[in-house]
Amino acid sequence: MGKQSQTSKQSKDICALCGGLCEHGTTTSTTDFGDALIVVRSVPALVCQQCGEAWVETAALAALEDIVTNARARKVPVEIVTMAA
Ligand SMILES: [Zn+2]
């Protein structure tokens, strides 16, 4: 019977930077286009408990991209959006 305790199981809950455990939380996403800075707050993310790195949840990526695209279309130099829960 397999006794492989440490298989290379790729989990989203493990930080890709330091291997620490990530917990559900939120982060602030900043996208700098040079002519426009889009800041999105309260983005669902897995936050590393060890190094603090935040990984935007896969399920939230499309919505985040949408917000950034829409915000940029407004052609303002700085846009700060808070993502709805
Ligand atoms: Zn980490």
Structural tokens at position 35:
């002519």
Tens-of-pLDDT digits for all 85 residues of the chain? 545 444 444 456 899 999 999 999 999 999 999 999 999 999 999 999 999 999 999 999 999 999 999 999 999 999 999 998 6
DSSP secondary structure letters along the chain: ----SS-----TTB-TTT--BEEEEEEEEEEE-SS-EEEEEEEEEEEETTT--EEE-HHHHHHHHHHHHHHHHTT-SEEEEE---
Q: How far is the CA of 1 from the centre of ligand 1 (A)?
A: 33
Query: If you measure from the C-alpha of residue 27 to the centroid of ligand 1, how many angstroms do you get, rounded to a whole number?
Result: 14
Query: Residue holding tokens 């889009």?
Result: 38
pTM exceeds 0.85, yes or no = no
Angle among Cα 5, 56, 38 to the nearest 5 degrees reads 160
Domains of the chain in start order, with CATH, are: 22-82 (3.10.20)
CA of 76 to the centre of ligand 1 (A): 34
